[in-house]
Structure 1
Amino acid sequence: MNTKFKNIEDSQLTITELMLPSNSNFSGKIHGGYILNLMDQIAFACASKHSSNYCVTASVNKVDFLNPIEVGELVTMKASINYTGRTSMVVGLRVESENIRTGEKKHCNSSYFTMVAKDENGKSAKVPGIVLTNKDEIRRFARSIKRQEEGKNRTSRFSSEVFKTEDYLELFKDSNSKLKLE
């Protein structure tokens, strides 16, 4: 049933939600966990729409909360497929808040969710590729490939089998830590 390639705009989604007091933390700002939950939902919807399958979250790359979100603001989340592998997709997410009274908009977060398509038996399912039509789409696709390569390198460099403490002792010189090696 999967088409070989799909246009990115065919699975792009945008949701907007009013931020309520029930979603705030002790300082009166919207709880980061609530925002992450919404982000996961829109990433799921975008990936499922693209793949025509149920999808699961494999990883989330780089969640930086850039600006706080206030109770009463509108939060808009935009999701788009940035990369497609054999069974996985990278969904790019952008989160913005808007003050209803002033119209001021703030960029609050950008993140990348790697989602894996699953068939009816729970096995990984092949996903359609994406048609890249402009420089931004090519940049996002290339950035996803580079991010994957960097992640593999980071994982192997710090694996317990190859990690050498002496190679990193200099990093601790100005850190807020105390080494007591035996």
Structure 2
Amino acid sequence: MTKVFKTVKSSKVVISELMLPSHTNFSGKIHGGYILSLLDQIAFACASKFSGHYSVTASVDTVDFLAPIEVGELVTMRASVNYVGKTSMIVGIRVEAENIQTGQIKHCNSSYFTMVAKDKMGNNVTVPGLILSTDDDIRRFWNCIKMIANKKDKQNHEETFNYKSEEAFTELSKYNVQIDLV
């Protein structure tokens, strides 16, 4: 069987939504949880569109809240598949908010979701390969490789680091903590 490849461009999904008072938190800004819900929806749409299969969220790798979003702003989310593995995809999402009266646009959030393609029985299914057509496509793919490596380093650290060693306790003295073991 011939391997199928698709372009990053073919994965792109854009959604826009007007932010309403019902979306606010206690400080009157748009609630981060509401934005996370929208991020998960667009990640699903992007990954499912690219893979041709139902896709589930395996992890939310990064969510950087950069600027608050106000009631009445038009939020636009742009998603694309930045990386593919065998059955997984990393979807990058950029969130911008536009003041619809002034036209001013601000970058509010960047996020990365790892999604896994599933068949009708719920089993993992192979995703198409990714065609990198632009310098940005290549840069984003490499950034995902680095993100995956950092995640593996963190997992290895969790498994091998002795948190109770004298060296570990000495290192903690550099931080704003007090150790009071019972």
TM-score range, shorter chain: over 0.9
Q: Name the structure 1 match of 2:5.
A: 5
**CA shift for structure 1 position 171:** 4.1
> Cα 1:27–1:138, aligned 2, differ >3 Å: closer, same or farther?
same
Aligned-pair RMSD on alpha carbons? 1.8
**CA shift for structure 1 position 162:** 3.7
**CA shift for structure 1 position 14:** 0.6
**CA shift for structure 1 position 163:** 2.4
> Cα 1:158–1:78, aligned 2, differ >3 Å: closer, same or farther?
same
Q: Name the structure 2 match of 1:18.
A: 18
Q: How does 1:101-116 map to 2 (within 5 A)?
A: 101-116=101-116
Moved over 4 A (4+): none
> 1: distance between equivalents of 2:2 and 2:74?
36
**CA shift for structure 1 position 143:** 1.1
> 2: distance between equivalents of 1:23 and 1:10?
31
Give the aligned length.
181
Contact 1:23 1:30 in 2 (8 A): yes
Q: Name the structure 2 match of 1:127.
A: 127
Q: Name the structure 2 match of 1:177.
A: 177
> 2: distance between equivalents of 1:172 and 1:163?
13
Letter in 2 for 1:67: A
Letter in 2 for 1:150: N
> 2: distance between equivalents of 1:117 and 1:126?
7
Contact 1:2 1:51 in 2 (8 A): no
Deviates more, 1:121-130 or 1:98-107: 98-107
Contact 1:2 1:127 in 2 (8 A): no
Contiguous gaps of at least 5 residues in structure 1:
none
Letter in 2 for 1:115: M
> 2: distance between equivalents of 1:130 and 1:171?
43
Contact 2:77 2:96 in 1 (8 A): yes
Give the SS at the match of 1:62.
strand
**Normalized against structure 1, the TM-score is what?**
0.93
Q: Name the structure 2 match of 1:151.
A: 151
> 1: distance between equivalents of 2:104 and 2:86?
41
Letter in 2 for 1:148: I
**Normalized against structure 2, the TM-score is what?**
0.93
> Cα 1:68–1:171, aligned 2, differ >3 Å: closer, same or farther?
farther
